[in-house]
Structure formats: C-alpha cells, structure tokens
Structure 1
C-alpha cells in the first residue's frame, strides 16, 4: 500500500517539474525572461560650442595723475579711495611764482602795445613828408619796419601771457577722468616736477570693466576652419563670468574684439569682453573664468551621462537596442558635456535607440526587453518565471 502511494507521489512531482520546466522554457523562448531596459531615441539638436577661458579684469579707463609744473604741494583736495569726477581739483601746488609770471607777462604785453602805438604814429607822420620828399625815403621805410616789429612784439608778449596763465592753471592739478582714485603717493610739502617718473595718484574707471582672455591660436584656428567648412556656425558674442570663488557674476558681457597678432611667448590670442559693473563687484586685476558660445554645432546629439560608458583606453561607447531586441555595443565620440548630457559628434544616427537604464549587466548580443526611458518600469527586474518559482517554493515550504 505504501509502495503504491510513493509511486503515485513521485509521478505527480515529476509531472509538476516537467510542467514548470516547459513553462519556463516557453517564457524564455518568448523573451519574457530578458532584462527590461529603458532607452531614448537619438535626435539631432543644435548645441552651442561653449568655450571656457581664464582672464583678468582691466579697468575701462586708467589715468595717472602727474604734475605739469614744478613746485611744492600745499594741499591734497581729495579722499583716497573715493570717486572723483573729471576736472575735480586734486592737488594745489604753490602758485606764487606762476602768479608773478602772469603779472610780468601782462606788463610786457602792455609795454609792447605802447611801443607799437608810438611806432605806428611815427610812420603815419612820415608818410606825407616822404611823398613830398621832405624827408629821406629810407627814414619812412625804417618807420614802417619799426611799426611792424612792434605789432609782432605784441603777439609774442600775448603768447607769453597765455603760457603764464596756463602754468598758473596747472598749479591746480585736476582729475583727467572720472573714476575711483587710489592712494596718494605724494603728501603736502613734497616737491614735484613735470618730469618726474612717479605719478601722484592713479584713477581707474571701473564701470564698465574689460576682461582680457587668452585663447590658444591653434584652438582659434580649428574653430575658424570648422566655421568655414560649415561644420559649425558662428555663435553669440555674449559672455558669462565665473568669479574666483566659483560663483557666477550676474551681468552678461559682450565680446568686443580679438587681437590680430599671436603672442610669441605664449602662442595665444587676446580676446577682450566688456561687462557692466554698477555695484563694483569686479576690481581691476581679478582672475575670472569667461564662458561664451563661440560657435554652434547644428548636427550634434545629446545623451544622458548615464548612457555613456568608457573603455580602458578612455574611448566612449553606448549600448543600442539592436536587431531582434538584442543589445548592440557601439563606439561613439563624446568629448564634452552640456549640463547633464554628453555631446555626441560621431557614432550615432538620428532615430537609433540608446539604452540609458539597466545597462549595468548588459553584454553584446544579450536579449533585452526595451521600453521608453520615460515610462514607468522596473529596470533590471527579475524575470517573472524566477519570481513565480520562488513564491511557489516558499509556499511549498
């Protein structure tokens, strides 16, 4: 009796095992046991070619305050570090000598005018006498020459008076431009001269500001060749700044020009951009990083960074949804990023499906179940047959 029951139980177990094996084989044959992966469709987009260049800030205008006459400084008329306007008095040089020079030149001019008046009067008196031959012709000629010389002396003394007035005006040193003035390098009582090498102070206009950037001539040449060949198009002239602490500078600048010569020492070309600086955040001499779109690639493809993997040699590759829903490994060219995406410039065609989720254990030619990456899914989930079998085993226990 026991033998019959054992035989019946063994037969039933074999039947169940065969049934489960057949079901599992059918599921694998139907593809339901393949891992589920998410994909995106490759699309061509216009992607800007962003250039990052280091640079230094440069004042929009810089002027060194220098004396134009000699003398002792009597007063300093500005606050160091403050804002000054063009024409504002900055230093007062002792004007005594220059005031005296003006008075002397004025007196010389008055004397010349009196002499000229006498010479002209004498020439007028001799004119009718010379016509009547009452005086020698030479005397009249000499009188006319003296009158002309007297008029020339007036012009000379008038110029001397103007020069004296200019020197007196230069005794008050004024600001040549508007801007922030630095520390004073001369104090009251210091003797200054028009030929001295050291300036008295420096004025810098800091709104707007320039940023001078250095770009490799080789990189600039490649970019120009790419634009000429039609591979990329010219980009925008707008520039963004990143400050020394890594923070972004708010106002946007504009590229003004690039130098026409290459530095022999560094092999770079200088580009200059102009930025508004109303709050005075930018100071002359700061190191900054400039970011701007020098060109636009009209035929690039953007891929999420999770989709791109690297080989041991550093080359990039992706997995595609291949024929018969099998994973296909493909090498690509992805040299830079834009935001959270890689910019692919070679190796992909529009419309190809690139796997972005569930790529951890993929192999070339492995069967997969692709679904759009934006849909609700269980990427990398266990096959349904395995889950069912585990549950049945648990129930059996």
Structure 2
C-alpha cells in the first residue's frame, strides 16, 4: 500500500513537470506595473528647531527707590502701559515741586529784567543814561529768559522722574515671576530686571540648517528644474505628536555660525492656545523648493541591492524584466521620489516581484488587475491524495 501511494505521487509529479523541468503549472508570470511620468515633488527637509518668544522685554526701573507695591499677578497676561510696580514717589514729588518753584522765581526775574531793559531803551536814546547801562539791562533780561528755559527743563525732568516711580509694562504679553519684592531697593543702574514679559502669540521657531545643504539647494535652483516655493512648516512636538497648525519661514540669516557651520531659519507659528513655550525643542519639516523632474514610484516597486543602491524592475523590450539603478533618497507619502535613472513612460513593476528575476519574460498588466488563478491539473496534489486514500 505504501508503494502504491508513493507511485501515485511520483506519477503525478512527472505529469506536472514542464519541458524545462519546472514546477507544476509554472509559466510566464503575470506582473502588475505602473507608468511613471515626471511630476512636481516638494523637496521636504526635516530639521531640529527651538521655540523663541515673538517679543521679549525686561521690566527695569528708571529711577532709584524702594518698591512700595507690586500691581500684577505673576504669570498673568499684561497689556502695554499697564502699571506693574510703584516705587516710593515722595522724593521725586518734592523734587518736582521744587523745580516748579524755581521756575516761578525765574519767571519773576525775567519779567523784572525785561521791564527794566524796556525803560532804559528811551533813556539811552536821549542819552539820559549811558548806553552801557542799557546794554547791561538788556543782557540781564536775556539771562533771565535763559534761566526760565533752564528751570522749565529741570521741571520737566523732575516730572518725568516722578512718572517713572510707576513702572509700566513695555509690551503686551505674559509676565513671569517677580525678581524683587516689596521693600527692595532698586536703581536704574542695576543689572537684574524686575521681571520679564514675553509675547507668545505668535511664536518663533529657530531652525538650524547646515551651510552645505543651503549651498546645494541654491545650486539646484540656479541649474533649473527646481523652483522655489514659500515654505509651509509643520512641527513635531517633543512627545512626537503633530502640532496641528502650520507656520511660514520668515527669513534666513545671512551669516553662518563658525562653531556649528549652520544657518538659522526663523519660522512663525500661531500659538493662541499657548501650547508652545520658549526654549522647547521641536522637529520642523518644510518644503524649500519643488523638483519638477521627479518621478513618484510606489514604495513596493523600489528595492535595495547589497551595496544599498535603489533599484527598480521595468518592463523592457519583448516584455523582458529589466533592472535599473535609480536615485531615491526620500519618500513622499506612499511613494519614493526618484530623481535619476528613469525615463518618461517607463513601466515600473510593482506587483509580482516575489520570484521575478531580471531578464525573465513576463506578462505585464496594469497594477491591481485581478490575477487569474487556475486550479491545478488532474493528478497534481489531488492524485497524491487519491493514492493515499488507496493506501489506507
């Protein structure tokens, strides 16, 4: 019985072999292909970045004195011109009053000197007094007028210093913690600010790009085929999630950092919810240009040889599978962006690549065409099963 079973299986195998000794049912493989055409592909770059406040300002005192009151809540939003601190104003109010009194005295002296000069003028004309006396009176009147101007400037300075005893917010934004408490002595020459205000909506992201990459991009733009574009930037937050809103590149610095060999690109993002805070490290991806000679090839159609070179198999003349080495350095969605190695109208095989060899004759059909699956010939598999049934 065991021999009968083996004999039946061997007969089936002999019947199933083709003329070339292949496996049962083996013939010209059917493969699916896509026709590639040159298209526009964005040159997307992903770089590290760091968030920076849109505006930042230190709150500093303009006069010396003791802080009497703090007029804001730490961490709150303040508006430009809003009072933040009050410095003891009594000395500055007294100085302003003194300057006002000095102005009144100077104005009185000017009035007296002016009247005296006016009275001396007709007397000097009739030589009732010497001309020198009239000249001296006229000079005193002019000196009195100059004294009035000086005391007016002193009064204005005193009033400004009095206003400085109330420290306002220089910009609108979120204020941080107060570095000085009530009762602290502050001065206009101190190095530490009273507090810091930052405007966070919108917010900047400073991106570092190597000078070599920028040079390569400029050469590509100059050679043609690559067109500039206004970059729309997307962010990945430190936890790997997408920020959800796009920003725009505002400018690129003209200088290269000699220590890092990089140039800073600054992007601007809306930040109404305050999710981005200064000093946060993020990943920024954006398109710096558009390659108008690229081919988009499905990722299933691109493989790598042992040297790491990207290769594709195309339908060649006489339906022969032909391998080509291409340049595919990045992906765009489900496709590889191929910049070299392909021609317009090439048929890239993307289905049926499992056991396909270069030079093999294939039956090409458009990709996603239903495969014709045929039942095995009589005696294949089923014959073995019959033999086993007989042997039982």
**Considering the TM-score relative to the shorter chain, is it more than 0.5?**
yes
- 3-state DSSP class of the match of 1:251? coil
Q: Which residue pairs with 1:194 in the alignment?
A: 188
2:54 pairs with 1:60:
yes
Take 2:259 and 2:377, find their aligned partners in 1: how far apart are those partners? 69
Q: Residues 236 and 292 of structure 1 are in contact (CA less than 8 Å); yes or no, is this contact kept in structure 2?
A: no
- 3-state DSSP class of the match of 2:317? coil
2:387 pairs with 1:393:
no
2:133 pairs with 1:143:
no
Q: Which residue pairs with 1:203 in the alignment?
A: 197
2:361 pairs with 1:371:
no
Q: Residues 210 and 274 of structure 1 are in contact (CA less than 8 Å); yes or no, is this contact kept in structure 2?
A: yes
Which residue among 269, 281, 285 is the counterpart of 1:291? 285
Take 2:258 and 2:377, find their aligned partners in 1: how far apart are those partners? 70
Take 2:97 and 2:226, find their aligned partners in 1: how far apart are those partners? 72
Report the aligned-residue RMSD. Answer: 2.3
Q: Which runs of 5+ in 2 are unaligned?
A: 1-7, 388-392
**TM superposition shift of 1:25:** 4.5
Q: Which residue pairs with 1:92 in the alignment?
A: 86
2:66 pairs with 1:72:
yes
Runs of 4+ in 1 over 4 A off after TM superposition: 23-26, 384-389
| 1:143-197 deviation digits (Å, cap 9, x = unpaired) | 0000000010000000000000000000000000000000000000000000000
- Where do 1:9-28 residues align within 5 Å? 24-25=18-19
- 3-state DSSP class of the match of 1:142? helix
Which moved further from structure 2: 270-279 or 160-169? 270-279
Q: Which residue pairs with 1:50 in the alignment?
A: 44
Q: Which residue pairs with 1:229 in the alignment?
A: 223
Q: Which residue pairs with 1:111 in the alignment?
A: 105
Q: Which residue pairs with 1:323 in the alignment?
A: 317
| 1:59-112 deviation digits (Å, cap 9, x = unpaired) | 111000000000000010000000000000000000010000000000100000
Take 1:84 and 1:385, find their aligned partners in 2: how far apart are those partners? 79
Q: Size of the alignment, in residue pairs?
A: 375
User: What is the TM-score of this pair, normalised by structure 1?
Assistant: 0.89
- Where do 1:158-197 residues align within 5 Å? 158-197=152-191
**TM superposition shift of 1:369:** 2.5
**TM superposition shift of 1:323:** 2.9
Take 2:163 and 2:19, find their aligned partners in 1: how far apart are those partners? 106
